[in-house]
Amino acid sequence: MTKRPLVKTPQHVAIIMDGNRRWAASRGFGPVDGHRVAAEETIEPVIERAIERGIKYLTFWAFSTENRNRDKVELAGLFRVFRHALKTKIKKLAEKGVKIRLIGDINWFPKDIAKRVMQIVSLTKDNNTITVSFALNYGGRDEILRAVKGLFKEVEVGRIKIEKLTELDFEKHLDTKGIPDPELIIRTGGETRLSGYLPWQSVYSELYFTEVLFPDFTPREFDKALFDYQKRDRRFGKGKFRSYKKRKKSISTLVHQYTRH
C-alpha cells in the first residue's frame, strides 16, 4: 500500500458513524442492515485510507450508552453483526498490523462478545501500523463518571493529594489514556452535534459534519474531511493579530492531487 501523507496530517481522527438506520430505511431494508453494511463494507476502506494518509489513531463510535434502549430485536441483530465482524473483519485488520483498542464499558455486552473483544485487544497490543479504537457502550458522561470514581480511589489510598490534582492525573483514568486528543472529529448523517462524544478530549478538536450517511462514507468522502481540515488554522487561543492579515496559500492543486484517487 502506497502511503500519501497529508501536508498537515491529523494524528487522531474520531468518527461518529451516524445514519446507518436511515440508510437502510431509504432502501427498504431492515433496521440492522445498515449496521451490517457499515461493518462489512465501510470501516475497513476508511482505515486503509487513514493508513495511506499517515494517520496514526482512528476512533469509531460504534455503540453508545443510549443505544442500549433500542428494542430487543434490533439489539439482537446488532450483536450478530458484532460477532461476525469480530470473526472476520477484525481478524483481517489485525493481520495488517492494526492495533485494536476499546473505549467504553464492554461489560454490558453479552459475555462472549466482551471476552472476544478483550482477546483481540490483547492479541494486537504490539501492532503499530495504526491504532483503531472502537467506542462500544460509550457515553461521554459515563466515561467522565468512571474516571472520577477511579480518581477518588487514588485519593482515598493517598496516591494523589486532591489539592495537587492536575489534568494529567484525570486523563490517566479516561478510556483514551495514552492516545492523543483527536484533532478532527467527523460526524456523518447530517446531524451537527457531538452527542456526548469524547467531551473531555474534544475541547480543541476541529469538527466536520457531512450529510453522507455512514454506509456511503467512502475513502473519497473521508478525503473531503481531511482536506477541509487542511484549511483550518488551529491557534489554540494563541494567534497573533498579524496572522489575520497574511494571505493563505491556495491548496487547490494539492486537493486535486489527492482526491482524484
Tell me which residue of 233, 231, 232, 209 sits closest to 221, measured CA to CA: 209
Q: Are 12 and 56 in contact (CB under 8 A)?
A: yes
Residues sharing a CB contact under 8 Å with residue 109, sequence separation 6 or more, in sequence order? 79, 82, 117, 136, 137
Residues sharing a CB contact under 8 Å with residue 103, sequence separation 6 or more, in sequence order? 59, 133, 134, 135, 136, 138, 143, 175, 176
Residues with catalytic annotation? 18, 67
Q: Residue holding cell 486535486?
A: 256
Degrees to nearest 5, angle at CA 66 with 169 and 103: 35
Q: Are 169 and 151 in contact (CB under 8 A)?
A: yes
Tally of CA atoms within 13 A in the half-sphere of 159 that contains its CB: 8
Q: Which amino acid is at 229?
A: Y
Strands of the chain (E only): list them: 12-16, 57-64, 98-103, 130-138, 184-187, 206-209
